[in-house]
Amino acid sequence: EPEVTQTPSHQVTQMGQEVILRCVPISNHLYFYWYRQILGQKVEFLVSFYNNEISEKSEIFDDQFSVERPDGSNFTLKIRSTKLEDSAMYFCASRLSGDTQYFGPGTRLTVL
Amino acid sequence: GNSVTQMEGPVTLSEEAFLTINCTYTATGYPSLFWYVQYPGEGLQLLLKATKADDKGSNKGFEATYRKETTSFHLEKGSVQVSDSAVYFCALSDNGGGGADGLTFGKGTHLIIQP
């Protein structure tokens, strides 16, 4: 069964460094998403992406964040200058056309 | 704005007990409602969904009914198993999937089933 994959499973970085989180959505899906979950808090929507552009973004998704689909298979989330409060689990999801989003296993980002 | 509230955990039950995890929502439109489950070390998996009032979603013995009058979507199972131990998330989609809007999630309820 096709599934969403994410790499790495755990990323440790120093404050101020750039990180890129990678996702491979299900191959024929059209809509792509990033979410994050700070430890003990809600899963929060960050951004949605469709037709090679951002469709919607939340207040969390400020200028420090960017997304890209560089090669038709990968979907990346870049954080330009990480802050301590960016430490969280980041989930990628994809969807074909209905209302069901399929999630990856997540990347745990730890900012020191 | 949209919001989802679900009961705090952890919820600890014995095997074969009856399970209810409460979920209520606030939405401006007519949302679709979902329960996702996260097993240890895995991603979020869709458990069940309902797209309109009075719909009942069901899967793997779990059920939830979309109650517009009480803005609720409580998750139930008649007899839980140890393998049901996981974190359960209630979520809504405010556009029924027609656009690219993200899901709004509750905080998650950690369910622990003891043999």
Cβ pair A91, A101 in contact under 8 A: no
Q: How many CB pairs under 8 A join A and B?
A: 64
Nearest to B103 among A4, A41, A45 (CB): A45
Q: In sequence order, what DSSP letters do the residues of B71-85 get, joined into one string?
A: TB--EEESS--GGG-
Cβ pair B57, B105 in contact under 8 A: no
CB-based contact (8 Å) between A9 and chain B?
no
CA distance B61 to chain A (A): 20
Of the two residues A82 and B9, the one the predictor is more confident about is: A82
| Residue-wise pLDDT tens digits, A45-72 | 999 999 899 999 999 999 999 999 988 8
- For residue B61 the two structure tokens come to 């013995």
Residues of B in contact with A41 (CB under 8 A): 107
Arithmetic mean of pLDDT, A67-93? 94
Closest-CA residue of B relative to A104 is B43
pLDDT at B42: 79
Determine which helix (DSSP H) or strand (DSSP E) holds A19, and give its type and residue range.
Answer: strand A19-24
Q: In sequence order, what DSSP letters do the residues of B6-46 get, joined into one string?
A: E--S-EEEETT--EEE-EEEE-SS--EEEEEEE-TTS-EEE
CA distance B44 to chain A (A): 5
pLDDT by position in tens, chain B (length 115):
789 999 888 999 999 999 999 999 998 878 999 999 988 877 889 999 999 999 999 999 999 999 999 999 999 999 999 999 999 999 998 765 445 578 999 999 999 999 9
Q: Quick one: which of B46, B3, B32, B14 has its CA closest to B94?
A: B32
Cα separation, B27 vs A87, in Å, equals 29
pLDDT at A81: 95
Q: What is the dihedral of CA B36, B39, B41, B43, to 10 degrees?
A: -20
Cβ separation A58–B102 shorter than 8 A: yes
Q: Quick one: which of B83, B41, B40, B39 has its CA closest to B61?
A: B83
pLDDT at B95: 64
Cβ pair B76, B23 in contact under 8 A: no
pLDDT at B21: 97
Mean pLDDT of all residues belonging to chain A: 93
Of the two residues B33 and A39, the one the predictor is more confident about is: B33
| Residue-wise pLDDT tens digits, A8-36 | 999 999 999 999 999 999 998 999 999 99
| Residue A9 region by backbone torsions, left for phi larger than 0, else alpha for psi between -120 and 50, else beta | alpha
Q: Residue B50: CB partners within 8 Å, gap ≥ 6? A: B32, B33, B56, B57, B64, B65, B66, B73
Residues of A in contact with B27 (CB under 8 A): none
